[in-house]
Structure 1
Amino acid sequence: MNRNSGNAILAFLVGAAAGSIAGILFAPDKGSNTRDKLSYRLHKYRQSLEDLLDDLVSERNGAFSEAKSHGEKVVNDAREKAEKLLEDVDELLSHINKKTDN
């Protein structure tokens, strides 16, 4: 889920919560019933937001983990190539030293 869709979902949830609250507050019902309904709906919206945050955090951690493993692979490849180059340089130097000794 990209950042825009996360913002869209959050905006939708906030709008839905505001609409529900306004509808409940203007409904002709007893105050205790209205408060119970409001409390129930707010609890549902809170749970939805917590689920959304959990999804976003797990997605971020997954992306971070993927980037980290890709970075480690690049570093390992570079290390192997550098070690190979050092071996080649050592071989060339020893070859040059043998020729100068003769």
Structure 2
Amino acid sequence: MAKNSGNTLLGFVAGAAAGALLGVLFAPDKGKNTRERLTFKLDKYREELEDLVEDLMEERKEAVTAAKSEGQKVIDEAIKHAEELMGEVDALKERIATPELEEEED
């Protein structure tokens, strides 16, 4: 979901930047003023893009942390079940080795 919203936001920012650039370029003003406005708007959009990249990187870190946490839970549960199974195996081995079982079979 975050990836989709990031792409949408990036598309919006890129479209806004393109529209602003075209508007400034075709505006009837002196070249110096047009260049200054264009530079200002480009700086503004650059800052917005930097913020967007920073937000996406933070979301990525959070997703990685959450995945690691879930992975650790799975590993912990697998260890717990493996230990339970080893206990059951040991119990079965003890029952098999008990002489009472051998006498009942005869």
Letter in 2 for 1:81: H
> What's the TM-score once normalised by structure 2's chain length?
0.87
Q: Which residue of 1 aligns with 2:52?
A: 52
The letter of the residue matching 2:57 is V
Moved more, 47-56 or 4-13: 4-13
SS in 2 for 1:44: helix
Look up the match of 1:96: 96
Equivalent position amino acid for 2:39 in 1: S
Cα distance in 2 for residues equivalent to 1:4 and 1:92? 54
> CA shift at 1:28, angstroms?
1.7
Scaled by the length of structure 1, the TM-score of the pair is 0.90
Amino acid at match of 1:43: D
State the partner residue of 1:85: 85
- SS of the residue 2:7 aligns to: helix
Structure 2: runs of 5+ lacking an equivalent = none
Task: Look at both structures and tell me which one has the larger radius of gyration over its CA atoms.
Answer: 2
Q: Which residue of 2 aligns with 1:36?
A: 36
CA distance in 1, matches of 2:23, 2:81: 67
The separation in 2 between residues aligned to 1:62 and 1:75, in whole angstroms, is 20
d(CA) in 2 for partners of 1:5 and 1:72? 29
Return the alpha-carbon distance in structure 1 between the equivalents of residues 22 and 41 of structure 2.
12
Size of the aligned set, in residue pairs, is 102
Q: Cα RMSD (Å) of the superposition?
A: 1.6
How far does the alpha carbon of each residue in 1:7-58 deviate from its partner, in whole angstroms, 9 at most, with x for none? 2111111111111111111112221111111111101101101111111111
CA distance in 2, matches of 1:96, 1:54: 63
- Which structure 1 segments of 5+ residues have no match? none
